[in-house]
A and B are shown apart, each in its own frame.
Chain A
Amino acid sequence: MSGASFAPVPLQQDSDTVLLPERVADLTGLGELGVAGELVAAFIAAFFVGNLMLAMTGVAGPWAKRKITAAFTDRIAVNRIGPFGLFIIVADAVRLLSKELIIPENADRPAYDLAPIVVAGSAMLGFAVIPMGSGIQLADPEIGLAYVFAVSGIASVGLVMAGYSSSNKYSLLGGLRAVAQNIAYEIPLVVTGMSVVIFTGTLQLGGIVEAQTEPLITLGGFAIPAWYAFINPFAFGLFLVANFAEVGRNPFDTPEAPTEIVAGYQTEYSSVYFVLIYLGEFLHIFLGGAVIATLFLGGPAGPGPAALGIVWFLVKIWAVFLLTQWLRSALPRVRIDQMIEIGWKGMLVLSFANLVLTALIVGMIA
């Protein structure tokens, strides 16, 4: 730097948005009780957000996934219990939780038991900073985006624990594949996310959403918002692909390829442990959808009053979920060697090209 100083970037940006814990504290009067009241309010808010996402996975796992796959393959799927077969969610929850827990001999006990908790719990963490609209956001720290990428990486540890401790050859191979895939696509994912940060100049997710509220162009009285999916469609595509690999969905479901290694890292898991790993995977798909919505699709933005934000947010994350199920029905699985080569030779180079080009374009405009 040539001695000249530019205005320091404020670390904590002033924002007039009220976060959910504060709102809960105000509504219930817990805020007047000091630190203990704040802790309780934060817990209530976190409990709400956690159960909201749990409900999403509850609908997605036992019901929506089957219905969508059935629609793609011209079948009917669950339709016996309740309207549209919706009560299968309750039936399946009871059925799965009341299964006998069979723990394989030679399993490494602490790791084998901890892995499902790590997988399910870590997937929940990312939702803390996602702005879901209608004032539903637990926290908005200035390092928001880095935080999301960091906590979503914890799941890899859980998958390796599951794969190694099951003492099963399929599980070991599945765990190795899972971590190889997660690390290969983590870099393109983060670098592509960084190309959005170049536009916004902040990692705060609330700030990133705010930066997308301006209309980009108006076509025939219809304003197209400045979502980064429209500003930089190339980055959007890259991020989508990297995200599908990161959550291990088709065409990148090599870690649990049923025709090769049975079920990968979850081969030896049964009963509630299986439910937890399955839950963690679905939470990850929705977390991926939430990050895509926040970075590229304007977060909770949409037509209508701002109070509808949560609806638009849910529509967007369900659209991403639908896309994963569509790809599941439409695309073949890549082989493990293709997976490594697509990641390191293709996605990595393309994501850096995207980063440098974005930096150049922003440099020209600014």
Chain B
Amino acid sequence: MNEWIAIGALALVGLLIPLGMMAVSYLLRPSVPETSKRATYESGEIPTGGTRIRFNIQYYMVALLFLVFDIETVLLFPWAVIYRPALESDAVTLLEVLGPMLVFVAILLVGLAWAWRNGAVQWATSPRQVEPEADRP
């Protein structure tokens, strides 16, 4: 039996369980529409402005950094799988199988060090936050 059939079956179950719960809830729950019941929650205040607010640039920086490292982990997986069988077969030396990976990781660590130095993994603070307490109005 193909194993991916079972995985697909679990995906189907994982879809049917939420849908089933939604169906049960649809039958059970009341609907009492009232004015401003659906207003956006802002701690009980009248909501101000839109939601598409400006947010910290940091989220964008770490996402970029993540792309680099995520692709790296994908490339490291095949290496990790063959590493021990390759060594135990005595057909290759340790340097041959470990060396290229060390170079690969080293290049990425240089990249991380560069990003670190440029503040990509340092939480960006606004100028107002950096000011000392006494200078604030």
Contact = CB atoms under 8 A, between A and B. Distances in A.
A43 to B, nearest CB: 5
Contact of B122 (A38, A116, A341): A341
A50 B81 contact: no
A108 to B, nearest CB: 10
Contact of B21 (A22, A276, A345): A276
Q: Of B53, B88, B90, which is in contact with the most chain A CB atoms at under 10 Å from its CB? A: B88
Contacts of A344: 62, 65, 112, 116, 121
B132 interface: no
Majority DSSP secondary structure for residues of B touching A: helix
B28 A97 contact: yes
Given A129-B7, A179-B59, A172 B121 contact: no
Interface string A117-128: 100111111011
Interface in B1-27: 1, 3-15, 17-19, 21-22, 24-26
B130 interface: no
A198 B84 contact: yes
Contacts of A104: 38-41
Contacts of A323: none
A22 B9 CA distance: 13
A180 interface: yes
Nearest to B3: A139
A50 B3 contact: no
Interface in A58-106: 94, 97-106
Interface residues of A, number: 102
B6 A4 contact: no
Contacts of A170: 41-42
Contacts of A46: 6, 9-10, 12-13
A139 B9 CA distance: 11
A101 B25 contact: yes
Nearest to A191: B73
B32 interface: yes
Contacts of B12: 43, 46
Contacts of A200: 84
A4 B17 contact: no
Nearest to B84: A201
A183 B121 contact: no
Secondary structure call for the A interface: helix
Interface residues of B, number: 76
Nearest to A41: B1
Contact of B6 (A21, A97, A99, A199): A21
Contact of A201 (B8, B85, B116): B85
B100 to A, nearest CB: 10
B118 interface: no
A2 B83 contact: no
B114 interface: no
Interface stretch (A213-221, A324-332, A356-364): A356-364
Contact of B51 (A39, A169, A179, A272): A169
B77 A203 contact: yes
Contacts of A341: 121-123
Interface in A327-366: 336-337, 340-341, 344-345, 348-349, 352, 355-356, 359-360, 362-364, 366
Contacts of A167: 40, 51
A152 interface: no
A98 B10 CA distance: 27
Contacts of A275: 21, 25
Most chain A CB neighbours (cut-off 10 Å) among B3, B90, B91, B101: B3
Given A9-B82, A187-B69, A355-B105, A139 B13 contact: no
Nearest to B25: A272
Contacts of B28: 94, 97-98
Q: Which 6 A-B pairs have the closest CB atoms?
A: A337-B123, A6-B89, A124-B14, A6-B91, A272-B25, A139-B3
